[in-house]
Every structure is written in structure tokens, then in C-alpha cells.
Amino acid sequence: MKKKAVIMGIESSCDETAVSIIQDNESGIPKILSNIISSQFDIHKEFGGIVPELAARSHIEKIDLITNKALKESGIKLNDIDAVAATAGPGLIVCLSVGLNFGKAFAISLGKPFIGVNHLEGHALSPKLNSKIEYPYLLLLISGGHTQYLNVKGLGKYERLGTTIDDALGEAFDKTAKLLGIEFPGGPKIEEFAKKGNPEKFKLPKPIINRGGCNLSFAGLKTAVLRITKKIKSQQDKFDLAASFQKTIEEILKEKTKIAFNLFKQNNKSKKNIFIIAGGVAANKGIRKNLVELSKENKFENVFPDINLCGDNAAMIAMVGLEKYKLKNFDTLEIPVNPRWSLDKDALFLKGSGLKF
């Protein structure tokens, strides 16, 4: 009986130290044997954001412990591991270096292949950990550092259809939360505030809503929130502003996703149109509900990662590693950290003021 491939994944691109071990399965959906994530919320909350040097130090202190925990929970022996995959980018260079170098050393010690993984590709493939999905599919990647619409044609084959020209959506959530006095990490708590508020109370801007294709902009929205927070006087005002912000985001994504749907259908002649929403912000229930309804109206099938796989984790890194392992697509130990690694190498750089659409 042929042995099913076992892959170790390591993730340290930002403030989560994570190690996972997955095993291939004849069903096409790998079995997650362990998926250990150690967060650094307590380290960074007094600063209101991630401090790279402190994050890197925490990765160094924890990565041995997290790896041992992942191995113990998986129940496998070291020799059962067929390859080691680690995030090589994008992310914070000092943080990436910890996981990447640890992964290389681990692969050397085992005498097994090493695979450097694009963190964004991990998010792109994360729904494959709970659903059997075939290429191509439309991906909306919404996380703390990235917001993109991508035509996913296959492993390593990505066409960017749209991107944020300034803040990522997760960043906009986090900055709004900070302005509302919500303790870091506040982004995920905006939705809780919103449930207690009136979404019609504040009229907020929707930057480039009628131009720029499915490119997005959130900086102007964040600035509008800043102006309002200087005038609000009560806790209820904060709830109302959170609700208005949540509603505005949902409306922006609805309009931009319609455009992305059309672009995807123009570029692909698939029998079935699949729309995947991945990344940390994909855990937002309001955004999920809104996009599910829109997908039904436009005859797209929705697929989400499990809630616990939306944020940064190592199982998604191992998932990419598994697909590359099957193709014998290995990396040399010289693969460098790439803090600005793009999924679509041909996509234009779209950041900053002065862009014209």
C-alpha cells in the first residue's frame, strides 16, 4: 500500500508562530494531523500594532516549542515527514527569516526536500483543506496586509484582476477599531460593535466605487472615520459608526465583486463558476452573508475556508507544500526571504496617490 505524503508547514510571516502537519488523502481533501498557532496579542497590544523586532524575538523563543507540540499532536514520527514547507514571503523580513531558516534546518536534519511558500498562495489554497475544488476559480483575498481579486488558473498561475491602491481591508478594520478605542487586535471586534449600532447614522465615502474596475481604495474611508471620531460623544455613537463602517465595506465589496465576476467569466469558459473568499477578514460574518447572497444572484458557487483557517496558519502553508511535493517542485536551500512576493509577477504596482483609472 502506497504511503500517503506527510508535509510539515511552518508560518512566521507576521505575529503568529505556527506549525502544522497534514497528510494526503484519497478523497482529495488532506487530513490535518495538527495545526498549532501561537499568537502574540499580549506582546503587541500595548503598542496598538505589530512591533517587528518583538515579533521576531517571540518567533525565535516559541518555534521549537510549537514544532514539538505539532509533532506530538500529529502522532507521527520524524521519519514519516516527506517534506518541509515554510513561508518565504511576503511579510515582515525579520519574522519571515525565523520560520524560513528553521524550516531549512529541519529539512536538512531529516534529509527531506524543502519548499518555500508564498503566504498569499497559502490563503489561495486554504479552502482545499476542507473542500474539493478544481481550477480555475475566482479568489477574493482579504487579510490584514492584502486585498486582491485573483483569477486562480492553477498552482502558481495567478492573474490579478484588482487590488487595493492603498490600505488593505484588514488594515482599514484595525485602524477604525483603534479610532473607536477598541483594544488591539480590534478589527475582528468591529462586527460586535456594529450589531449594537445604527448603520444609517453616518454617511461614509466609497472611494473609486464607480471607476478603476475592481480595484479598491480604503484610505479615504479611514480618513472620514477619523474626522467623525473627533466629534462623537457617546458609546452609542461608536456603535453607530462601527455599524456604518461595516455597512459601507459590505456595499463596496458588493459593487467591486460584481465587476470581478464579469471579468472572471470573460477570461474563463468554465462549466461551474467558483468564488472563494479567503484571508483573515473572510471570518467576518456580515461580509460572508453579503457575498453569499451576491454569488447566488450571479450563479457563482461559494467556498470559504473553515473559520479557524481564515487567519494566518501553517496548515495552508503545508497545503501548498503538498501540491508542490506531488509535482516534485522543490526549492534549494538558497531560496531567500521575499518580503514583497507577488502572486502575479506581471501585475502593475498600484499604490499611492496620483493613480488614474
Q: In this model, does residue 333 exceed pLDDT 60?
A: yes
- C-alpha cell belonging to residue 235: 458609546
Residues 26 and 99 in one domain: yes
Pairing relationship of beta strands 114-118 and 83-89 according to DSSP bridges? parallel
3-state secondary structure of 61: helix
Residues 76 and 180 in one domain: no
Q: In this model, does residue 351 exceed pLDDT 80?
A: no
Q: In this model, does residue 203 exceed pLDDT 80?
A: yes
Residue 100 within any structural domain of the chain: yes
Q: In this model, does residue 349 exceed pLDDT 80?
A: no
As for how many domains the chain has, the answer is: 2
Residues 282 and 267 in one domain: yes
Residue 338 within any structural domain of the chain: no
Q: In this model, does residue 352 exceed pLDDT 70?
A: no
Q: Which residue has the higher pLDDT, 355 or 182?
A: 182
- Range from 20-29, 36-45, 165-174, 191-200 carrying the lowest mean pLDDT: 36-45
Q: In this model, does residue 357 exceed pLDDT 60?
A: no
Residues 167 and 280 in one domain: yes
pLDDT on residue 119: 97
Residues 153 and 270 in one domain: yes
Average pLDDT over residues 43-72: 91
Share of the chain above pLDDT 90, in %: 87
Residues 15 and 125 in one domain: yes
Share of the chain above pLDDT 70, in %: 97
Residue 194 within any structural domain of the chain: yes
Q: In this model, does residue 355 exceed pLDDT 70?
A: no
Residues 214 and 83 in one domain: no
Average pLDDT over residues 55-72: 97
Average pLDDT over residues 181-196: 89
Domain limits for position 78: 6-129+311-326
User: What span, in angstroms and rounded, lies between the C-alpha atoms of 37 and 316?
Assistant: 12
Contact 88, 98 (CB under 8 A): no
Confidence of residue 348 (pLDDT cuts 50, 70, 90): confident
Residues in the chain: 357
Residue 353 within any structural domain of the chain: no
Residues 61 and 209 in one domain: no
Residues 173 and 287 in one domain: yes
pLDDT on residue 3: 83
pLDDT on residue 354: 52
Q: Which residue has the higher pLDDT, 354 or 187?
A: 187
Residues 284 and 159 in one domain: yes
Q: For position 289, which CATH number holds?
A: 3.30.420.40
- Per residue in 139-149, pLDDT tens? 999 998 899 99
Closest to 83 (Cα-Cα) out of 17, 28, 10: 10
Residues 163 and 119 in one domain: no
0.85 exceeded by the pTM? yes
- Per residue in 17-54, pLDDT tens? 999 999 999 999 999 999 999 988 788 777 777 899 99
pLDDT on residue 75: 97
- State the chain's mean pLDDT as an integer: 94
Residue 11 within any structural domain of the chain: yes
Residue 336 within any structural domain of the chain: no
Q: In this model, does residue 347 exceed pLDDT 80?
A: yes
Q: In this model, does residue 1 exceed pLDDT 60?
A: no
Confidence of residue 297 (pLDDT cuts 50, 70, 90): very high
Residue 191 within any structural domain of the chain: yes
pLDDT on residue 136: 96
DSSP 113-151: -EEEEEHHHHHHHGGGGTS---S-EEEEEE-SS-EEEEE
Contact 80, 110 (CB under 8 A): no
Residue 21 pairs in a beta bridge with 8, 34
Residues 106 and 171 in one domain: no
- Per residue in 77-104, pLDDT tens? 999 999 999 999 999 999 999 999 999 9
Q: In this model, does residue 2 exceed pLDDT 70?
A: no
**For 23, which DSSP code?**
E
Residue 25 within any structural domain of the chain: yes
User: What span, in angstroms and rounded, lies between the C-alpha atoms of 253 and 219?
Assistant: 15
pLDDT on residue 38: 95
